[in-house]
């Protein structure tokens, strides 16, 4: 009878070892699966952010180009107005601008 109990205990231990080994194997598979999914999600998010940044940068370039064109237009208009001033008024305007620039004074 004690042999039978020992046999039963050995079978139970073997079954427990098999269950633990199976659980460890399942845990490794789950961990590997989670790592793979995490990597996929990270790659997807990085791609999404890259595209978003490209769009943002493109918008900034468009806005910068627009601002540059506007400034160039304003500079052309100012140049044209200065060209139409008579010589004395032109000299006064140049002196006024230089005085403001050198003195760091605010524009009126």
pLDDT in tens, 50-69: 999 999 999 999 999 999 99
Give domain status of residue 108, yes or no: no
- Pick from 69-73, 74-78, 96-100: least confident: 96-100
Residues 67-75: contacts with CB under 8 Å, at least 24 apart: none
Give domain status of residue 72, yes or no: yes
* pLDDT at residue 106, as a whole number: 63
Please tell me which residue, 105 or 91, carries the higher pLDDT value. 91
Based on the structure, what is the number of domains in the chain?
Answer: 1
Supply the range of the domain harboring residue 53. 2-103
Cβ-proximal residues to 93 (8 Å cutoff; 6+ apart), any chain: 82, 85
pTM over 0.95: no
């Amino acid at each position: 009878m004690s042999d039978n109990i020992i046999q039963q205990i050995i079978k139970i231990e073997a079954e427990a070892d098999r269950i633990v080994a199976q659980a460890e194997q399942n845990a490794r598979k789950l961990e590997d699966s989670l790592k793979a999914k995490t990597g996929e999600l990270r790659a997807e998010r990085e791609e999404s952010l890259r595209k978003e940044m490209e769009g943002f940068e493109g918008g900034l370039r468009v806005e910068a180009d627009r601002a540059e064109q506007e400034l160039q237009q304003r500079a052309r208009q100012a140049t044209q107005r200065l060209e139409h001033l008579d010589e004395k008024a032109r000299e006064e305007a140049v002196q006024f601008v230089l005085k403001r620039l050198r003195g760091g004074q605010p524009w009126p």
